[in-house]
Chain A
Amino acid sequence: MIIVDKEKCTGCGICEKACPFGAIKIVEKIAVIGDECTLCGACVDQCNLKAISIQRKKFEDVDLSQYQAVWIVVEIKDDKVRNVSFELLGKAIELANELKQDPCVLLIGNNVKRFIQDFSNRGAKKIYIAENEDLKDYHTETYSSVITGIISKYKPNIVLYPATINGRDLAPRVAATLKLGLTADCTGLSIKDGLLLQTRPAFGGNIMADIICPISRPQMATVRPNVMEMAVIQDKINTEIIEIPVKVDIQGLKVKTKEIIRGTASECGIPVCEADTIVSGGRGVGSKENFNIIENLASVLNAAVGASRAAVDLGWIPKSQQVGQSGSTVSPKIYIACGISGTIQHLVGMKSSDIIIAINKDPNAPIFDVANYGIVGDLKTVVPLLTEALKKRLQNNN
């Protein structure tokens, strides 16, 4: 319940402006909160007079002390551990140190013991193994039921999942089954007063929200790839290996995969959501053939090839490479936008990149508003020149 203290409120109107939902109106010098209110709390933070408060039900007698350890759920793809898993471990170690608990890894899949060393030498204190032939491929039903069981039994304090296609499918299924809080797509995680403080963008990246999960355990979050630092290889520590026997039946699956169709290697070498560097092409590329220009620059930089929605819709590049609201949200170290004007839907998907470089004919293109560096010019001339120049430079560096 949201309450305006009429004694304290002066009707200054700061809250009215702060409300993302337009729910507050100043009536006779008092803030009045309407039905649109979602209790998001934006006004509470903004009110200097502390006149607005949200009252929550108090939860008592919940014993949370039995929940210990910071866990990560590893994602394996094409017989390899996805880098995002090491990023999760890096963060988990930091959080676990702060809490004086153990950073732990859950390896789920078929024949996953071979990955133990990847995590033991990066600082995992305990590695839980859930291995089964039938866990070879990811299925929502099998993975969520196995993980639900393991979480109930071992009671971790925090569980982190990658915010990948599979992670975003799995985590909410587990959360709802166990009635747990879950925060999506976190870009920041820290410990505040013993709780996991989860920071995530919302409103198409226009606002940030800090979220806690005070009353249910484990505290769970999906974490955006490429944001956290990977756990580094360190001196051997004693890692405990715990094998968990699991029973899985894929015969009775209600959702079955009939066919898998992949883009060709040249089209999409590195998945965009995992790449350190992305070179993206838009409508300005002009044709499917011209995407070579983008691919050449990407290959020099060992980057992923991305695209705007326009380029995908024109059939120049597969949908899996699309960056933006209806594609992937990415945050690489370097994002190079070639011939992309920068619609709001595209910007939402890439504007948290560290460095943005834009090449566009139109000096008024919105992409230049978010770019750290820009060249006004035709990408078909500029990008090949840039490719050559970078190639030379990188050779000299080596």
Chain B
Amino acid sequence: MRFIVCVKQVPDTTEVKIDPETNTLIREGVPSILNPFDQFALEEAIKIKQENDEIVAISMGPPQAKKALLKCLALGADKAILLSDKAFSGADTWATSYTLTQCIRKIGVFNIIFCGLQAIDGDTAQVGPEIAAQLGIPQITYVESIEKLEGKKLEAKVQTDDGYKIVEAKLPALITGITPSSFEPTNPPMMNIMKANKKPFSTWTIDDIGGSSDNYGLNGSLTEVIKVYSPPARQQGIVIEEEKSEAAVQKLIELLSKDKVI
């Protein structure tokens, strides 16, 4: 079987801080990382991989996104393809999914496409379903884990509003989600990082994947970001420290009723 894992290099938004004086983003010193959710998806692919199966990690991004793909190779992907071209920049979710779809078509045969729950910078969770729609294959979103893989069928545990469900899908299919037991993404051992450099890695441009240039990047984007700004800062709160819990609760109730919260 061939599994394709779609990944993204993102700024580590958990490291982002807000300048309290200007209320703007402090970007300095924020590292670029492999999107943690994509790593979890990759790890699920590795978990179900059998001998003779192949995992291909693909990513659209600037040349430095190679680093994220090298991490995928070190974690256990067999091959990696970076889609990098000036023409791809400024892509919204539709143009991104078009680019990845073109790449997947070029790769040819596949059985499962994995996407992370969402990217931690954009948080849209739209690219996965948009790829599935463009390829015309079924999608399963909010997958917690893959329970079974037999022949041309996949069984997955899927999150619902009030619990979970077990679904069965005919392959090929695209899944998004995968929630790990710990949010801290692990780093591959040094040995594997060295080996990763020897695994097949290619960079593809628009010439490699074809299609109309009108569909890529800013030209292919249907949405347009017209303004980016900091959300209003939260007001400094009141923290009650009292020896006796009764007194603290009393004080809180007074404050809540004074401010008409209750």
Contact = CB atoms under 8 A, between A and B. Distances in A.
Interface of A: 1, 17-22, 34-42, 45, 54, 56-57, 77, 140-141, 144, 164-165, 168-169, 171-177, 179-185, 197, 201-216, 254-263, 268, 271, 273, 309, 313, 318-320, 325-326, 334, 344-345, 348, 351-352, 355-357, 363, 368, 370-378, 381-382, 385-386, 389-390, 393-394, 397
Interface stretch (B43-51, B105-113, B164-172, B194-202): B164-172
A211 B90 CA distance: 13
B28 to A, nearest CB: 8
Given A35-B62, A203-B13, A373-B240, A390 B230 contact: no
Interface in B139-192: 139-142, 144, 155, 159-170, 173, 179, 181-183
B211 interface: no
A contact patch SS: mixed
B163 A181 contact: no
- Nearest first, the 9 A-B pairs at minimum CB distance are A39-B90, A181-B222, A176-B133, A176-B130, A35-B62, A172-B129, A184-B124, A262-B163, A181-B223
A393 B250 CA distance: 11
B63 A35 contact: yes
A1 B90 CA distance: 8
Given A38-B89, A182-B94, A261 B123 contact: no
Contact of A20 (B11, B160, B163, B255): B11
A372 B235 contact: yes
A17 B16 CA distance: 13
Contacts of A141: 138
Given A377-B248, A382-B248, A345 B14 contact: yes
B contact patch SS: mixed
Contact of B133 (A20, A34, A77, A173): A173
Contacts of A165: 141-142, 159-161
B241 interface: yes
A390 B93 CA distance: 46
A206 B13 contact: yes
A38 B223 contact: no
Contacts of B246: 385
Contacts of B138: 140-141, 254-255
Given A19-B27, A257-B166, 6 more contacts: A165-B161, A182-B223, A215-B222, A376-B239, A393-B253, A397-B262
A211 B226 contact: yes
A394 B121 CA distance: 41
Query: Which of the listed residues B62, B162, B170, B237 has the most CB atoms from chain A within 10 Å of its own CB?
Result: B162
Contacts of B262: 390, 393-394, 397
B25 A203 contact: yes
5 contacts: A206-B18, A212-B226, A214-B224, A261-B164, A394-B262
Given A57-B218, A173-B129, A382-B249, A320 B162 contact: yes
B44 to A, nearest CB: 14
Given A319-B159, A320-B161, A393-B257, A179 B94 contact: yes
Interface residues of B, number: 97
Interface of B: 11, 13-14, 16, 18, 24-25, 27-28, 30, 32, 37, 62-64, 89-90, 92-94, 97, 117, 120-134, 137-142, 144, 155, 159-170, 173, 179, 181-183, 214, 217-219, 221-231, 234-235, 237-242, 245-246, 248-250, 252-253, 255-257, 261-262
A319 B179 contact: yes
A374 B122 contact: no
A35 B231 contact: no
Contacts of B120: 204, 325
Contact of A258 (B121, B155, B182): B155
A206 B16 CA distance: 8
Contacts of B170: 254-255
B66 to A, nearest CB: 11
A146 to B, nearest CB: 14
Contact of A363 (B141, B239, B255): B239
B226 A254 contact: no
A208 B14 contact: no
Contacts of B92: 181
B123 A204 contact: yes
Contact of B253 (A56, A202, A390): A390
Contacts of A355: 261
Contacts of B90: 38-39, 54
Contact of B161 (A77, A201, A348): A77
A17 B123 contact: no
Given A37-B89, A184-B123, A374-B240, A213 B229 contact: no
A363 B168 CA distance: 48
A261 B165 contact: yes
Given A201-B231, A211-B223, A185 B124 contact: yes
Contacts of B124: 184-185
Contact of B27 (A22, A182, A254): A22
A143 to B, nearest CB: 12
A214 B223 CA distance: 7
Given A202-B123, A259-B166, A35 B64 contact: yes
A259 B56 CA distance: 31
